[in-house]
Structure 1
């Protein structure tokens, strides 16, 4: 039993020793790996920080001339001192070779001084500097020590001075590359401490130890300086990243994620400068019916709708299209390498079709449309400003004539703009009191064949331009802010004319968006009505759906004031806008006016027939009157009577007549009615 125990004990001790050996080997391996890793860090430039690498490259490239100047000047000074003592190959040819290598390296760095390198290029250049520092330092140290046997003590002291000054100068120049500085210090100090210690010169041993201490201190300074340098580079990198993010956010629409107005114009400037003779198109998109959705469901639903619109528009963008949100419900598209107008219209139709599809939101399903105006460079636009303005003009014209469609700026628009500019100039200096007149178109009750009202229509006879159509000068007056002045003049003249009519004949007068979108405008209108002597209950004030959509809250407030005064309120051109039924019920309307676009060929067009029938039924359900505009033929009148239409206006009965002809018209129509 005892020998077996001894054997087991010896075996266990053997295992313990073996385990200790394994642990020691593992520890030694770990230490060796760490040493190799540290050595690798010394000879390899760090690759984890791209910005730091580029900054090291930039700063070091500016210090290279100074570093090589220190090396070359000190080397030739030392060579000059030993020229009569040492062999020529040692005092001339070796420093000449070293100088050639240094000059070649200097030229290489000089050529790259203004180059902005990639991180990888910078890393490789710094790696080569580490490697070259090691080789150059060994070569210089070896050459200096080879000179030591020659010369007297004074000359030998200069070798030590050369070694110290050159080493310290190079370390200072390498402070943005600590690995190279450490390599230089390690090689020089190791070589000279070992050499002078083995040579037995006490004074030189002390000098080498002193050099080692100074070098160590310099390396500590380099370490601290590099830490500050790296920190400054990191701070600059973070600041630049923050600036880039701020710039991105400043050029981004936070709601839709699309480029915003600022980015749109910046992009437009860029692509315009690059376009040359290539076609470039700008399209401005305006949503039709967005404001009623926003007013009815609230801003949160409006924001959701705008986001979804942005998503649909982004889905239609291609490599040559750039979608932006200009603000509100207005978007823009830039088309580079623009195709022909046919293809451009096709793109516009795709956008319009996408916007016409219902938007299924969390709160509701809504339906809107979009109108687009395009202009094309260099066809009919010569600069960025004109390109944008003409796209906006095409959009405006499209919304006036055919909402939800595409309109491309044409040569006819150029003529219209010139005419509008001329009208604007003449209108601004016109004597409007003298030049504006009012014509009146009768509104007939077809059951009694009796004139129940006249609609006042503006006419402008300019001494410079002659007779100017209301369709031409009214939009100009609205755009230039003169429409309020026109309204006041025309309303006074219309009320004065109505004073001569029978009390049962009403006056219908159109108000613009400007008139009902400000409290001052409504106050002025109320003052004119009150001072006219006409019973406000004889007055019907017509507003458009567009005017109501501009600012529904203010429009309703204005209408409520006019209704309290006793005036009737008629919604003009009903069916052409995007007002909702809830908005119609919220307004104190007394009449609807069906637009003449639904009446043309009423007897032959089934769609028009159904629309007019529905609108007449709607007015009856709401308990308000309905005036049908644009009746021009007996067939249209007969079809309307079958539908139950009562109040009619159109050329079938009479075109607009001058003020002095209204009395005659009333007399003749009254006589005809009695005779009939």
Structure 2
């Protein structure tokens, strides 16, 4: 019975050892391996007998010295043996294992046997290594970031700051501020925002705000994002704060704002800013405040500009702006609207006499001669005044009335001012007369298309033409598109007129002897017409004009409204093969983001910028910047309104690809297009210009 029990016990032990995932082994007191379980062969692919004598050869050479030192140390001291190392399998692969052993002692505490195990820890070791590498990679990313990254506890105390954050606070060691309240390191102006953000992050919300501080004596602007850090169960355990230096971006935005809202020549407000200020002032008139809008025009400015040159003319405009500034209060707004046209928005008007007093003061200020180019130049001014709410309650009506009053002041001898009166509404009557005739003007063939060439600044060849509408009114004569297009839009016939222009342009272009493109303007009203795509398709099919020869010009304002709907229309037009151009670029909105969203083939720089060349540094910078944007985005750049050889040379140096204007040709009837296609214009050094000098008045344009 005893023997059977012993065998049973030995079998139980043997099965326990054999079925264990661990390799069991024993050694004598001197450290010689005596035996090992069969699991050794499974683990290493090496027979047990071979492993007993040759186990050092199974250890990775880089790990063998360490294992030897540890095992010899345990054998000599009797201390527990516990080490991780790599075993080399029979197939040449390596395996991470953990080997542990403990001594068995006799009654005299002498070691009589060592019992050990070898455990396969390869998977865990690789996971640990990957985790350490991942943590190291994450830390390297955080440390190399230029953004200031902080980790806070839920009370807003600092737990971590990366290198950028330490530099931002001029700290050498995070230990100097570890545990401090983050807001205590920031200026007082940011504390309330920071405390609000921390409270929101504790509730699981992210907050973004802009903060201002100083690094030394340098003012800095920061974009700050504060977000919660949650555990696997969604509980907020930490707070992440990231600060980005946006000083340069903000400075650039401020510079762009100045370009957008300030006149580059005089540093006065421009037309856009004046309209905004006028809109705000009109909202106050409902509370009883009165305002006066003074429209101002320099008398005989064109004669000065033509006889003494544009540099002298620019100097006169700058000095005129200085005199206007000295005439007004801080609450008033002075603007240059373009050319020699200025405006003053006078606020806090109690009676018409207040406006008359200011107008008389301004006229008197211009009585003294101007010192220009070593000579004295005398020029007076004429002023038209409209009052709100007495004369009008909307910006458009007030501008119209002030402009009508200015026309009357100039007609009555200049050097004076006039208030708007209802009897001055001749312009309105003319507009109504025009409105009445537009409905049947198409049927009476009173509209015609003229074509102005677009010339390559590289080859001097005509690459295309812009179609420009003209109206020959039976009573008013030749009417400018600037006058009849708004009336057509208001009266609802712009759709018919636009379809006529589109068809007429395609029919004319398909007969041209060369494959030049034709550009047709689309007004915002036309672009929103659901029949636009059908009209374009029909015009191309009816004429047989290849789609790539048709270019549709739209203004910036079209792209800034209902952008998703506009994107759909543009995509449909592009699918037809039609080209898209942005007309009057620079006169619309300040954002350039739409150039990335919308498919655009061409940008046409507005003539108002070209008119300031070559003397205006600001206009030159704008032209250069737009040309650079075009190159970067792969968009062709065309300069409009080029009227002099000097302007042509300037825009060519600034990187424009094409130009259009009177320097090459006035708009011509379709019968003269063929002769222009056959010409090669001399770009430099001498420009073959069309007869006619540059004039102050803007050239007629159409938005058809």
TM-score, normalised with respect to structure 2 = 0.41
Higher-Rg structure is 1
TM-score, normalised with respect to structure 1 = 0.43
Q: Which has the higher helix share?
A: 1
Q: Which has the higher strand share?
A: 2
